[in-house]
Structure 1
C-alpha cells in the first residue's frame, strides 16, 4: 500500500502541511483509505461547445453552457430562476466571558426570473459590472476573471491561454482563473479554475488520479514559464508555528525562501 514516503518530496511535505492536524499516522491512513479512489474534480460537466454570455431581461449578462444558464437554480415558464440571499446579525451590547452575546438575526431573499433577450457574445467581452453576480460565480469563477493586478501574471495567463486554452487545464469544465505553479521548482504548471487551484495539492495519490497526473506531468511544463518568486504563496508566521506545534517540525522548511 502507498505511504507518504512514496510521494515526491514536495508533495509529501505539502500533504503534511495541509493535514498536519491528522498527524503523520493519520495522513498515512488517509492515503491508504483513498488508494484506488481518484480525486473528484469540479463535478461540473465539461461543455461540449464554447460558453456564451447572454443578455437577460434583468439587464445583466448570464453565462450559458450547453443551453443551460449556469447562474440559475433551474428553468421555469417565467424564465431561468435566480435566488440570492443576504443575512445579518445585530449583536446586543452585552459582554459574556469577553464576547458579545444576544442580539437578533435577520435575512432577506430575492427571487427573480430571467429570459434571454439577445444572442450570445464571448464571455470575455462583458465588463465585470455587467455580469450576473449570483454567488456561484464567486465560488467557481465561471466567468473569465478580471485581469490580474500584476503585469507579469497577466502575461503568464495570456501565454497559457494561447498555448493550452482558456478552460481549466485540469478539470476542463470551468474557465481557468488562477496561474498555478510548482512551489518547489518555481515553474508554472497550468491555468486552473479556482476550485482546482485550491484543492490540487491536497491529492493523496501517487498516480492513477487526474490531480496526481497533472502535478507529475504539468501541461505547461514545455513552456518553461517561471513564476515570480516574490509573488509566491507565503504562510503567516502564526500558521507556521501552529503546524510546527502539531508535527514537531516545519514540513515546508526546505522550500521556504531565505529572507
Structure 2
C-alpha cells in the first residue's frame, strides 16, 4: 500500500501544500484510499467538425461544432440551456479567486437560455471578454489560447508545439494553453490545457495514473527547456502562513528562495 513518503520529495511537498486543509493524517489517508483509482482527465471528446463562434442572444460568442453548442447543457424550444459555476473565497479583505486560501468558501450556479443570432466566425477572431464561459469546465478550454504575456514563454510554447503538437500533452483533448514546469528543477514538462494545468500536481498517485506518469516522465524532458525563474509561481506570504498554521510547517521551504 503506497504512502505519502513514497512520492518524490517535491510531489510530496506540493500535495501537502495543496491539501493542507486535510492535515497530514488526512492526506496520508487520501494517498492510501486513492491507490489503484487513477485520476480522471478532462473527459472531453474532440469534435469532428471545425468549431465556429456563434453570436448568441446574450451578447456573447458560443462555440458550435457537430451541430451543438459546446458550452450548453442541451437545447430546448426556448433556446440553448446554459449553466456556469462560479466559486470564490471570502477573506477579511474581501473576496479572492482562490478559495483555498480563504476563510470561507462561497459559490453560485448561474443559468440562462441562449438563442443563436448568426452563422458564426472563426474562434480565434473573438476577443476573450466576448467568449462564453459556460459548460462543464468552462468554454475557455476550447478556445485557441491567447498569446503568452512574455516573449520567453511565447518561445517555450512555440518550441513545445513544434516538437509535441498544439493540444494538451496530458489529456490530448483540449488546446494546450499553459507551459507547465517542475518548480523543483525549473525544467519544462509539457504544454497543458488550463484544466490539466490547474489539477495535475493534486494527483496523489505514485504511479499507474496518467498524471503521475506525466510528472514522472515528462513528454518535454528531452527538449531540456527551462522556465524563467523570474516568472515562476510565488505564493503570497499570507498564504504561506496559512499553510504553516494548518500543517505546523512549510512543506515547500526546501524550494523557497532564501
After superposing on structure 2, the runs of 4+ consecutive aligned residues of structure 1 that deviate more than 3 Å are 48-51, 54-62, 64-68, 75-78, 82-85, 107-110, 129-132, 134-140
* Paired positions, count: 233
Normalised TM-score (structure 1): 0.78
Are positions 1:210 and 2:230 aligned together?
no
Compute the displacement of 1:63 (Å): 2.5
Distance 2:75 2:158 in 1: 35
Offset of residue 64 of structure 1:
3.4
Contact residue 63 and residue 71 of structure 1 kept, 8 A:
yes
Alignment match, 1:81: 80
Q: SS at the partner of 2:115? A: strand
Q: 1:113 aligns with which of 112, 115, 119?
A: 115
Q: SS where residue 75 of structure 1 aligns? A: strand
Aligned to 1:128: 127
Task: Indicate if the aligned counterparts of 2:53 and 2:126 stay in contact, CA closer than 8 A.
Answer: no
- 154-163 vs 216-225, greater mean Cα deviation: 154-163
Contact kept? 1:51, 1:63, Cα under 8 Å: no
Query: What secondary structure, in the 3-state scheme, does the structure 2 residue paired with 1:81 have?
Result: strand
Say whether the 8 Å CA contact 1:128–1:146 is kept in structure 2.
no
Tell me the SS of whatever aligns to 1:241: helix
Identify unmatched segments of 5+ residues in structure 1: 88-106
Change (3 A) 1:112 1:252: same
The secondary structure found in structure 2 opposite 1:141 is helix
Matched ranges for 1:85-234 at <5 A: 110-114=112-116, 117=119, 121=122, 123-124=123-124, 126-128=125-127, 132-136=131-135, 138=138, 140-234=140-234
Looking at structure 2, the residues matched to 135 and 69 of structure 1 have their Cα atoms a distance apart, in angstroms, of: 10
| Structure 2: gaps (5+ residues) | 87-108
SS at match of 2:197: helix
Equivalent-residue separation in structure 1 for 2:169 and 2:179 (angstroms): 10
The 1-side partners of 2:9 and 2:242 are apart by 21
TM-aligned CA distance change 1:251 to 1:139, over 3 Å: farther
State the structure with more CA Rg: 1
- Provide the C-alpha distance between the structure 2 equivalents of 1:199 and 1:189, rounded to a whole number of angstroms: 14
Give me the whole-angstrom Cα distance separating, in 2, the residues matched to 1:168 and 1:117.
28
Residues 13 and 252 in structure 2, CA contact (< 8 A), matched pair in contact too: yes
TM-score, length-scaled by structure 2: 0.78
Aligned counterparts of 1:57 and 1:181: Cα–Cα separation in 2? 38
